[in-house]
Structure 1
Amino acid sequence: MQDKIFLSSPHMSDEGFEMEYVKQAFNTNWIAPLGENVNKFEEELADKVGSKHAAALSSGTAAIHLALKAIGVGDGDIVFCPTLTFSATANPIIYQNAVPVFIDSEVSTWNMSPKALEEAFKKHPNVKAVIIVHLYGLSANMDEIMKICRLYNVKVIEDAAESLGSYYKGKQTGTFGDYGVYSFNGNKIITTSGGGMLVSNDGERIEKARFWATQSRDQARHYEHSELGYNYRMSNVSAGIGRGQLIVLDQRVIKKNYIYNYYKQKLRDLDGIAFMPENSWDEPNYWLSSVTLYGQVRPIDVIEALEKENIEARPIWKPMHLQPYFKNYDFVGSNVAEGLFENGLCLPSDTKMTDSDINKVVEIIKGLW
């Protein structure tokens, strides 16, 4: 696998920051979901993104789940969710026995369409929460979306799993809503191998999330549980990796931007290719460099050509309303998300790629024209 070019794989710091924190966990024997690394990682991440409080959890999915629970989402409640996203955004809605309503994308951001969101509120006025996603590191149109959500007095969760290090008008994505969620899965811009973070300015709700995440164990000499709990806490070892990774986050963002602009420079003149949307208010982390193809060369042609050379590429996310499990839930919009799925392609965006690696990808793609 050494010669494989990955879509996006873990990238440990050259300085070994992660190992120092992991060694600390082992040397102190704090390898369980407790310890200084967990506490410090929460503090350091919250400080980095500009949020007051954070809870380190086992995954971004767990963070979305606890955010919904903190809002009070339950049986039969309606939750608006972008249709163009990974299933981890939508699944926690079902965990809470709530009802997802999927919202279409807009061409200008690839994210939730404010127009479709307004239509959804008119159709479903009794909404408990809205989940917003910043797809592939691109910021959603937060001013318009938040204006609509505040008008209807509904709680907002930002799924910023893919957008740590992305800024909307100078403010970190994940910090506009009532709750923000980050993922540290192995393919994200920084990783803890697996893990996530829930952030909020509401300290009481974050403390409650920590309580739920540790099996809702009450303060008692014996094991007492007055609420349903979950095994969602991040381990001290994983948090150590995260602390080291956080140090190099800015470097990773720079490299992701470099990869995207390299592709754009070399491929933009190809007939029928279009790159991710760019907006003056958006500072993306370009987690995955993505394009749409509208000519004779189709995304599958590129994927298969790269695959022959041991290079990984993938289609854009398949919309949730087209997924077999979610097909019976309501969808509001037109066919923007479907079009992005049919024509979209994620190119290799691994931060360990050399110029030679990127150029190899470029030449294979150009060879298809």
Structure 2
Amino acid sequence: MRSQDYDRIFLSPPHLGRHELNYLHKAIEDNWVAPAGPNLDGFERDICDFTGAGHCVALTSGTAAIHLGLRLLGVGPGDEVLCPSFTFVATANPILYLGGTPVFVDSEADTWNICPQRLREAIEDRIRKGRKPKALLLVHLYGMPAKVREVLEIATEFDIPILEDAAEALGARYDGRPLGTFGAVGVFSFNGNKILTTSGGGALVTNSQEWAQKTRYWATQAKDPAPYYQHSDVGYNYRLSNLLAGIGRGQMELLEDRVKKRRETYLWYKINLQSVPGLTLSQTEPAGGRSNRWLTTLLLDPAQTATTPEQLRLHLESHNIESRPLWKPLHLQPLFATAPMYGGSACEELFAQGLCLPSGTAMTEADLQRIAEAIKAAVKPTATT
């Protein structure tokens, strides 16, 4: 059959429930369509209730949350910020917004997140050079908890504050505690492809009331408390609208179900693709960690299969199935060509061998069977002599 004969299977499309409209209708009836209102307040409470964070500020994107979070941590021109290389560019871009420099660190092979050994190496070397890092961005890639305990111990030893990038990890846990709550600041994303969505949006969480107030102040153009528009500080138009927050309220009611479904999808793939030569479903949960399995990822071992990830991606595309390469390491991006890098071979190898599979929570058994059949048809063993 031709690809156009199939309905398209997307990588991670939005999946709305039945309650989002209730919040939207109420906002429109009450004329609350600005970046303020009951839905916005309620959405922030919902996030605090779920995560246990003391305070939440809903913003226009996860990138905006990282930007303001780094500013809370005092990052400014000339400062260095530790950051995994194996992540989306939005993790590191806010460092540049503030005039800082990212210091990239390689991944470890289990969770694919920042390697504690390489992290220590980076910190000690930057300190020897008189360049103690101002902050650490701790990312939980594809919803997989990093080795939090080891990273926290190193950050505490060197007195480096953590901004926890849990943009992909809402609903994941470590030692029973929600990700996003281990750092001085945590951030989430509600972009259209995330496990929950507000179309576009994000949130910053912290246990500091002062920091939450400062974040709201910066996010609403840093307007001073005056009867006219007076500004003593640089501000931004970063506040989430009450309408989109209404979508978020409805989505939060579905979070546990969405996590359950993503984890079930991962297990389905794991069982049904185990016979494919050279293919492994990767990212191992650390001790005490529970991934939300936002995206199921695979690796193709070139020693066991002649099929490359790009060949598999194109084959799936010919069957109207969307897949995606793993993140290209940031130290390989032209934008960051001069940034320091510690390690590099681990995340480069992951990028060369990996692919993200469709993981949407609305997929059916028939969708999964179609994906598996296409993969089995494409992935061939290495020829033997």
What band does the TM-score fall into relative to the shorter chain? Answer: over 0.9
Shift of 1:271: 1.8
Question: Does the alignment pair 1:84 with 2:90?
Answer: no
Helix, strand or coil at the partner of 2:224: coil
Residue 287 (structure 1) aligns with: 294
Maintained 8 Å contact 2:165/2:187 = yes
TM-score normalised to structure 2 length: 0.94
Residue 169 (structure 1) aligns with: 175
Deviations 1:188-207 (A, max 9, x none): 00000000000011111011
Supply the AA of the counterpart residue of 2:10: F
The unaligned stretches of length 5 or more in structure 1 are none
The unaligned stretches of length 5 or more in structure 2 are 381-385
Shift of 1:109: 1.0
Helix, strand or coil at the partner of 1:153: coil
Question: Does the alignment pair 1:27 with 2:33?
Answer: no
Residue 8 (structure 1) aligns with: 12
Residue 297 (structure 1) aligns with: 307
Q: Distance in 2 between matches of 1:306 and 1:100?
A: 35
Match of 2:267 among 249, 261, 283: 261
Helix, strand or coil at the partner of 1:54: strand
Supply the AA of the counterpart residue of 1:118: R
Helix, strand or coil at the partner of 1:367: helix
Instruction: Give the 5 Å matches for 1:112-191.
Output: 112-125=114-127, 126-191=132-197
Helix, strand or coil at the partner of 1:81: strand
Q: Distance in 2 between matches of 1:277 and 1:57?
A: 30
Supply the AA of the counterpart residue of 1:210: R
Q: Distance in 2 between matches of 1:109 and 1:231?
A: 35
Instruction: Give the 5 Å matches for 1:103-114.
Output: 103-114=105-116
Helix, strand or coil at the partner of 1:132: strand
Q: Distance in 1 between matches of 2:9 and 2:277?
A: 25
Question: Does the alignment pair 1:342 with 2:341?
Answer: no
Q: Distance in 1 between matches of 2:8 and 2:344?
A: 38
Supply the AA of the counterpart residue of 2:140: H
Question: Does the alignment pair 1:356 with 2:366?
Answer: yes
Residue 48 (structure 1) aligns with: 50
Q: Distance in 2 between matches of 1:255 and 1:334?
A: 33
Match of 1:198 among 182, 194, 204: 204
Maintained 8 Å contact 2:283/2:297 = no
Question: Does the alignment pair 1:239 with 2:253?
Answer: no
Shift of 1:103: 0.6
Q: Distance in 2 between matches of 1:73 and 1:239?
A: 29
Shift of 1:268: 1.7
Shift of 1:56: 0.3
Residue 67 (structure 1) aligns with: 69
Supply the AA of the counterpart residue of 2:143: G
Shift of 1:123: 1.0
Q: Distance in 2 between matches of 1:108 and 1:241?
A: 35
Instruction: Report % sequence identity.
Output: 48
Supply the AA of the counterpart residue of 1:27: E
Q: Distance in 1 between matches of 2:288 and 2:343?
A: 25
Shift of 1:277: 2.6
* Matched pairs, number: 367
Q: Distance in 1 between matches of 2:33 and 2:40?
A: 10
Shift of 1:334: 3.8
Supply the AA of the counterpart residue of 2:174: Y
Shift of 1:17: 0.7
Residue 341 (structure 2) aligns with: 331
Residue 383 (structure 2) aligns with: none
Supply the AA of the counterpart residue of 1:352: A
Shift of 1:216: 0.1
Shift of 1:140: 0.3
Shift of 1:67: 0.3
Maintained 8 Å contact 2:104/2:339 = yes
Shift of 1:324: 0.8
Match of 1:311 among 321, 326, 339: 321
Q: Distance in 1 between matches of 2:106 and 2:281?
A: 20
Q: Distance in 2 between matches of 1:67 and 1:310?
A: 39
